[in-house]
Structure formats: C-alpha cells, structure tokens
Amino acid sequence: MNLSDFLNQSCVTLSHSNQLSQLILSIAEAGKQIAALVAKGKLAGVSHHLDSINVQGEAQMQLDISSHDIFINCLAATKLVVGAVSEELASPHYFPDHLPDAPYLVCFDPLDGSSNVAFDGVVGSIFSILPAPPNAVRSEEMFLQQGVHQIAAGYVLYGPATMLVISVGAGTHAFTLDPDTQAFELTHPNLQIPAHYPEFAINASRQRYWETPMQQYIADCLAGEEGVRQCNFNMRWMASMVADVHRILMRGGVFLYPKDNQVIDRAGRLRLLYEVSPMSMLIEQAGGKASTGRASVLDLYPSQIHQRVPAILGSINEVDLIEQYHQR
C-alpha cells in the first residue's frame, strides 16, 4: 500500500479530513525533493558552509537553507497552512495565500543532524502539524500548544533508504521510498517499541555536565551485569536525532539528550516544537514513552517557539525508571 492509499483509508477509518492527507502528501513531496538533493552529496555542493548562523547560533549550510525553502514551497502550495515555524527562521513564516479557513500550523526542522552532511552521514527532516486556532491573530502564541494537541507528526530519514515515518494519532507507521516509482510504500505498519531493550543513545562527551540522576542512571547502565541493573547495555550515538530515534522505533532502547549545566539557562539541547514534541508523539504512538525526566513531554506548555527541553524517549520501562531516578 502506498502513502496516498494509506491516507485515503485512514481518512475513512479515522474520519480525519482529506485536507490532512493533502498536507501530509505535500510534506512527503518535500521529503522526496530533499532526498534527491542530499543524495547528490558533494556534487550538489551540499556541504557548502555559509557565513550565516541561524537563530540557534548554529552555522548554516546551503543545504539547511535549500531544505527550508523546499518545505516552505511545498506547504505554500497546499494553501492549507496559516503559518510555519522552522529551525532556520527566528520568527514564524506566514503564508500570504492560504485559504481563509486554512486549518493547520506546521513546525519543522528541515535538516536535522546536518553536521553529518560533511561526511555523507544520515540526516532527516522532522515535522509537527498543529491546529490553527480559528480567527487567530498571527502571532507566535498560536504555535505555543501542548504536544498532545498535535494532529500529526513525522520525519523523513535520508539514509541508505529514504523513509517516511508518520502518526496521525492512530499508531506509528513507516514507509520506504521506492526509488523506481518514487512512491512511499508502507513497509512497517504499526511499529511497536519493546518495553525493554538494553541500549541507550547519549552524547557521552557531555557526561561531566549532567545532573546527578542522569550521572547515576548511565553509571548503573555501564556497570552491566555486575551492577544494580544486572544487565549489559549497548550504546549508539548517530548525532542525528532522526537516525537515533528511528533505531529506537525499530528495535527499542532509549534516546537521551538531558539537561546539562554547561549553559546554565538552557534546559536542554533539542527544540520542543519541531524536534522533541513530534518525536514524542511518534514514540508514544508506538507504545514507548517520552519524558523530560520530570514531566511528560506532550503535556508541556511551550513558552517560546524555539524553546529547548530535555529529551528522554524510548522503551517504556526504561523511561519510567529514568523518571524514578529523577524523583529519588
């Protein structure tokens, strides 16, 4: 079954609007265009660094900007989106030609893990679809909605195969791009994250900055069979949230980007609206759990469009346990 058939079917079974299908198809189109660009590698000058830095203080690459532009053009074509927040823009982008009753807002990270581009490593795009408040005045406040209100979320992974993983609130489903037909085919329906899988993903070079509960949790994992966990853990870190979360959706484990004290007033590295919140929806729709360590990610009330939060996502037993470390 391809993406279009899947969305037609879920339109009927979940009675979501046909407009949602149109919007997701337009994002899938953006994903295909970005995949083609990423696949050209150095030949398309994709690792070319610009002099600019984005609102996050990160160096921008030509490919970050091109991916952002592709997203904006695909979203604009639907006329269904009032405004969008992108990692690459300080303020929201408002679509001048949207329909008067356009129902959606979109938050996106056009090229997640883009430092991997320099060596042909895996990257991705992340998106979150929110309801546009009726008659809302254009403002950043429109976007500051709890993650539980997401209508849909997903990512496109630009790996050895290009994959689209989505949830419209009824499970998490993965599609693989067929390079011959350029159709996304449903290859992994209803992903289910095992409740326990002894593998964690964390940037261990930041260990000295972590809070005590995270220090203790990782120390206990590293102690293996001889320690309190009585279990040997494996570790993986792709430095691309899409790639790391994808692995966890496929086989379990836990992804951690905790709060650390290197930058005191920074709650975490990853951004709530277009990284942690959509990934949390996908994880929870696949039977996993998403937490900051102290609260459910999807219950957080965002305070700023580029707000950062701690992210602990994955196998439910492990995330429960990490919350217990924070309570102790």
- Contact residues for Mn ion, defined by CB under 5 A: 109, 112
Separation CA 31–CA 91 (nearest Å) = 23
The interface partner of residue 239, options being ligand F6P, Mn ion, none and the CB cut-off 5 to 8 Å by kind, is ligand F6P
Contact map string, positions 151 to 190, toward ligand F6P, x by CB under 6 A: ----------------------------------------
Separation CA 230–CA 315 (nearest Å) = 18
The interface partner of residue 10, options being ligand F6P, Mn ion, none and the CB cut-off 5 to 8 Å by kind, is none
Residues 107-126 that bind ligand F6P (CB under 6 A): 112-113
> Is residue 240 a contact residue for ligand F6P (CB under 6 A)?
yes
Contact map string, positions 263 to 292, toward ligand F6P, x by CB under 6 A: ------xx----------------------
Give 299's DSSP letter: G
Q: Give the burial string for 164-194 (b: 16+ CB within 10 Å, else e).
A: bbbbbeebbbbbbbeeeeebbeeeeeebebb
Burial of 149 per CB tally in 10 Å (0-12, 13-18, 19+): exposed
User: Whose Cβ is closer to ligand F6P: residue 103's or residue 278's?
Assistant: 278
User: Whose Cβ is closer to ligand F6P: residue 246's or residue 269's?
Assistant: 269
> Is residue 64 a contact residue for ligand F6P (CB under 6 A)?
no
> Is residue 203 a contact residue for ligand F6P (CB under 6 A)?
yes
Report the amino acid identity of residue 279: M
Separation CA 83–CA 226 (nearest Å) = 53
Q: Which two tokens stand for residue 182?
A: 């350029």
Binding site for ligand F6P (CB under 6 A): 112-113, 203, 239-241, 244, 269-270
